[in-house]
Structure 1
Amino acid sequence: MSLFWTLATIAVLALLIVVHELGHFLAARLQGIHVNRFSIGFGPILWKYQGPETEYAIRAFPLGGFVGFPDDDPDSEIPPNDPNLLRNRPVLDRAIVISAGVIANLIFAYFVFVAQYSVIGVPEKFDFQPGVIVPEVTSQESPAALAGIKSGDIILAADGQELGASEQAIRTLMDVIRDNPNDPVDLKVQRGERQLQVSVTPKIGDDGVARIGVQLAPNGSITAYRRPNGFFEVLGLAAEQFQSMFVTTVNGFWSLFTDFPSVASKVAGPVKIVEQGAGLASSNANTLFPFTAIISINLAIINILPLPALDGGQLAFLLVEGLRGKPIPTRIQENVMQTGLVLLLGLGIFLIVRDTAQLEVFQRLFQ
């Protein structure tokens, strides 16, 4: 993993934070709402610029950012009853400002896919290799996990039937699994330089279809691209890719809530994200496009969750205010938000420490 791609991945994360906060900022300014701070990161200020109304700053801890409003600033010269203070605006105006960061990240993700197809082109030729890749085992309690299948394994054969090197390999494997509910299926698996024999028993899901609990992907790589047939094809392909990635991400977050013990270990912090992004980009620079879009979608979904200190938490307060006809007392809101911020920062620090300790370079120091 080169330093260049590590820095490029960090730059991507910084860009996504800027996009998110810029969404809040523009949504406020376009409505004439006062904004006095635009900060990337938290903690001590490393650099700042004072504009006519807004202070722009970069802070020491790059775990996010914020847009500040003068509503509760004791040094603000704006009268408390000014109609352009955020707190004095109707619920809908405030909801637009709060949700604009999420919307900005989703729109940005879509246009990243537009850029991908415009710059790189449309995949035209795929060099298939034997077997089917298992990018992820969806749960530690799934039949695949219990059988010993791991992420990154390549399934070469099922019940003695070679899957071959073609686009039909995934369909062949799925047919074998679905045709053997509750019956053992023998798989030949490639793991690194070794070949293993694994027996897995598909389980019938709620929809009546037998599954083993893995994601599947074709084994191979794209070797040729073509120029898109006009801008409308680019827009259409980008929309399809965005929809697929959005649905996959939402399902991943749903699994986090419904199967937390199995999925919690897969939650990644900034260090792990940078490591994965740099690793992907160093092997194929084109992957920086989908990586950027995926992280942008993740950032949007995380922020819309109804948790304290996140955009979703503030929207939850607005929803309660709209239903009861008056806002929740300021002290309660501040206590909840401060508690949530402390917990989120604590989680961020924990993930940074954990992921740093798992880095190959770090582990070598203790060998």
Structure 2
Amino acid sequence: MSVLAAIAVLLVLIVVHELGHFAAARLQGIHVNRFSIGFGPVLAKYKGPETEYTLCAIPLGGFVGFPDDDPDSDITPDDPNLLRNRPIFDRAIVISAGVIANLIFAYFLLVGQVATIGIQDIQAGLVIPQVDPSSPAMTAGMQGGDVVIALNDQPLGDFPEATTIFIEKVQNSVNKPLNLTVKRDDKTLNLTVIPQENEEGQGKIGVGLLPNIKLNQAKNFIEAFTYSAEAYENLANLTVKGFWQLISNFQENAKQVAGPVKIVEYGASIAQNNAGNLFQFGALISINLAIINILPLPALDGGQLAFLLFEGLLGKPLPLKLQEGIMQTGLVLLLSLGVFLIVRDTVNLAVFQDFIQQIGL
């Protein structure tokens, strides 16, 4: 059920994106002949007065079809309501509307979570969920629920950087005292712990580590919108920084790129632990989809906007064959990347690895 919940979230985000394109076109009176969710075999379809609506078997995308290049269309090529015959600004609205829809929807997902459940706000420091018996941490007086906010008088900062700093310092401090500043309820304590050496020759103190998360619950709609705006800004900043790190240091960070299978796995894990957090998961993925689609790459919305930019600068569109060649090449590369990520992430799934071990491969 958790896997189905994660897939449902992705499907909703795809529908929202395509509805953005569809609504922007129809509200301007632009002809639309198809609205499709998914790819592959058609599971269901409905033929409206002008538009055919289809649901396909593979829910990994969708598209809004226009009759501009449909040889079987009854609409004359000079019809002013064909997308290609509209001014650049009208077409830019249609192309960018999917991205805008995802960004707006992400915000209202956060509003929904804040209003009903509350939202997780990561604070500085690390929570100690448990302390092992007879461990250096217990000897030092640490307790489950403590929040470590500083190490050797240096503030830890936020997760996940705080975790990296804490682990490295402990591992490199065998039999050396570490001064911890700990918050326990309303008190601030200074504790000294001496890491012991483990089998690998590294220091350990016998504690678990969790992010320091505060659950913000709104008392009214104004607070709900305020908390959501702050959470939205944090998610957007983290996403943009993540993309910048990927682009600026692609070789090192390429392995962290997740495909649909990995995203569903993450979502299923979230749904299994706390289904309410699917709101926040959906908001994060929605912002990611928006940023990915606005990149000026062929076969994406950003690539089509780039064509419009060239048309505006040159005073005429690029040759149709050139546009088609670029878009087809981009589509092949995009699909190839998608297939690669799906295969890679599927092979790395725990259930798949267990199966491989059982059959002796």
TM-score after normalising by structure 1: 0.77
Q: Hey, what's the Cα distance between the residues in 1 that align with 2:120 and 2:280?
A: 14
Task: Find the partner of 1:31 among 28, 31, 38.
Answer: 28
> Structure 1, residues 49-90: CA drift from partner, whole Å, max 9, x if none?
111100111223322110000000000000100000000000
Aligned residue in 2 for 1:269: 259
| Runs of 5+ unmatched residues, structure 1 | 139-143, 173-185, 199-216
Give the one of 221, 224, 229 matched to 2:219: 229
What is aligned with 1:11? Answer: 8
Aligned to 1:359: 349
Q: Residue type matched to 2:101 in 1?
A: A
1:366 is paired with a residue whose SS is helix
Who is 1:301 aligned against? 291
What is the percent sequence identity of the aligned residues?
57
**For 2:243 and 2:33, how far apart are their aligned partners in 1?**
34
Structure 1 residue aligned with 2:138: none
Matched with 2:66 is: 69
Contact 2:38/2:62 (CA < 8 Å) preserved in 1?
yes
Contact 1:133 1:154 in 2 (8 A): no
Matched, 1:289 2:279: yes
- Quote the residue 1:253 is aligned against: 243
Counterpart position of 1:197: 203
- CA apart distance, 1:233: 1.3
Deviations 1:239-274 (A, max 9, x none): 111011101101100111101111111100111001
> What are the equivalent positions in structure 2 for 1:112-191 lying under 5 Å apart?
112-121=109-118, 128-129=127-128, 130=146, 131=148, 136=160, 160-165=178-183
For 2:179, the aligned partner's letter is Q
Structure 1 residue 48: Cα displacement: 1.3
Distance 1:219 1:195 in 2: 26
1:55-66 alignment runs, 5 A limit: 55-66=52-63
In the TM superposition, what is the alpha-carbon distance from 1:135 to its structure 2 partner?
5.4
1:46 offset after TM fit, Å?
2.5
Q: What letter matches 2:332 in structure 1?
A: V
Among residues 272, 275, 279, which one is paired with 2:269 in the alignment? 279
CA contact (8 A) 2:6 2:268 kept: yes
Q: 1:219 aligns with which of 207, 211, 215?
A: 211
SS in 2 for 1:67: strand
Using the alignment, how far apart are the partners of 1:354 and 1:346 within structure 2?
12
Relative to structure 1, the CA distance from residue 162 to residue 86 in structure 2 (aligned partners, 3 Å threshold; closer, same or farther) is same
Distance 1:283 1:255 in 2: 29
Q: TM-score, normalised by structure 2?
A: 0.78
Deviating beyond 6 angstroms after TM superposition, the runs of 4 or more aligned structure 1 residues are: 122-127, 153-159, 186-189
Q: C-alpha separation between the residues in 2 aligned to 1:70 and 1:113?
A: 37
SS at match of 2:317: coil
In angstroms, what is the RMSD of aligned CA positions?
A: 3.6
Counterpart among 84, 88, 91 of residue 87 in structure 1:
84
Deviation readout 1:303-334 (Å, 9 max, x if unpaired): 00000000000000000000000001111111
Name the CA distance, whole Å, in 1 between partners of 2:239 and 2:56. 29
What CA distance in whole angstroms lies between the structure 2 residues aligned with 1:320 and 1:28?
Answer: 22
Match of 1:21 among 18, 22, 26: 18
* Structure 1 Cα separation of the partners of residues 298 and 257 of structure 2: 19
SS at match of 1:112: helix
Cα gap change, 1:135/1:276 in structure 2, threshold over 3 Å: closer, same or farther? farther
AA of the residue aligned to 1:273: I
Provide the C-alpha distance between the structure 2 equivalents of 1:283 and 1:31, rounded to a whole number of angstroms: 44
Change (3 A) 1:279 1:11: same
SS at match of 2:229: helix
Shift of 1:335: 1.0
Tell me: CA distance 1:77–1:230, structure 2 relative to 1, closer, same or farther (3 Å): same
CA distance in 1, matches of 2:185, 2:347: 39
Q: Using the alignment, how far apart are the partners of 1:13 and 1:328 within structure 2?
A: 34
Deviation sequence 1:178-199 (CA, Å, 0-9, x none): xxxxxxxx9969x9xx99439x
Distance 1:154 1:272, change over 3 A: farther
Distance 2:76 2:172 in 1: 68
**Tell me, what secondary structure is at the counterpart of 1:327?**
coil
Gaps of 5+ in 2: 129-145, 149-155
* Counterpart code for 1:258: S
* Pair 1:21–1:123, CA change in 2 (3 A): closer
Amino acid at match of 1:7: L
Verify the 8 A CA contact 1:103 1:300 in the aligned structure 2.
yes
Q: 1:15 to 1:196 in 2, by over 3 A?
A: farther
Indicate conservation of the 8 Å contact 1:34/1:86, yes or no.
yes
- Report the number of matched residues: 316
